């Protein structure tokens, strides 16, 4: 049975972390996370131990035209109260508030992309929603275990 997301509205979120421009074909995201993880405790005013993996896509490219070589910005970050004391070589960003389709992904990356495609390509239009031009992100909490088949993460897809 396909995953059915919940619809949640949130206020904006302040994050501090590292970002790169990458693509699925030449994904340098693991290297960015290897740089970020040993330094995440340098960030002050964090709201929790949860990590945020965020993607920002070029709104001028229709979703149907995305392929493995399409570039996007990827972040490794944590949510903070404010932007005081940002560590060297880290950046700030404010995730726009709004409505999101949210679901829990459990398992490996292959199923992650299958589920995400189903949500964006089938479930959203069938239920009267459209993708919104805001950030996509995942919240990696205590049940997140990178690459493990029992790993869980919350996936947030911006909608209108």
Q: Are 100 and 158 in contact (CB under 8 A)?
A: yes
Q: Is the pLDDT of residue 27 over 60?
A: yes
Mean of pLDDT values over 132-142: 90
Q: pLDDT above 90 covers what percent of the chain?
A: 56
pLDDT at 19: 97
Between 25 and 88, the more confident residue is 88
pLDDT at 35: 97
**What mean pLDDT, rounded, does the chain reach?**
89
Instruction: Count CB-CB contacts under 10 A for residue 75.
Output: 23
Q: Are 112 and 98 in contact (CB under 8 A)?
A: no
pLDDT at 57: 85
Q: Is the pLDDT of residue 1 over 60?
A: no
| Cα dihedral sign, 39-42-45-49 | positive
pLDDT at 3: 78
Q: Is the pLDDT of residue 84 over 60?
A: yes
Q: What backbone torsions phi and psi does residue 106 show, to the nearest 5 degrees?
A: -125, 130
Residue 85: left (phi > 0), alpha (psi -120 to 50), or beta? left
pLDDT at 65: 77
Query: For residue range 102-131, what is the model confidence (pLDDT) as tens digits?
Result: 998 888 766 777 787 888 888 899 999 998
């Amino acid at each position: 049975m396909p995953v059915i997301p919940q619809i949640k509205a949130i206020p904006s979120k302040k994050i501090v972390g590292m970002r790169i421009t990458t693509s699925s074909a030449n994904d340098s995201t693991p290297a960015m996370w290897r740089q970020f993880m040993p330094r995440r405790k340098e960030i002050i005013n964090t709201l929790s131990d949860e990590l945020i993996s965020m993607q920002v896509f070029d709104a001028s490219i229709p979703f149907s035209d995305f392929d493995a070589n399409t570039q996007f910005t990827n972040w490794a970050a944590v949510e903070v109260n404010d932007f005081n004391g940002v560590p060297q070589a880290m950046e700030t960003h404010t995730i726009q508030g709004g409505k999101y389709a949210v679901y829990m992904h459990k398992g490996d990356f292959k199923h992650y992309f299958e589920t995400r495609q189903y949500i964006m390509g089938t479930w959203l239009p069938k239920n009267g929603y459209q993708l919104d031009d805001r950030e996509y992100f995942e919240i990696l909490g205590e049940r997140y275990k990178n690459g493990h088949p029992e790993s869980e993460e919350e996936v947030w897809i911006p909608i209108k």
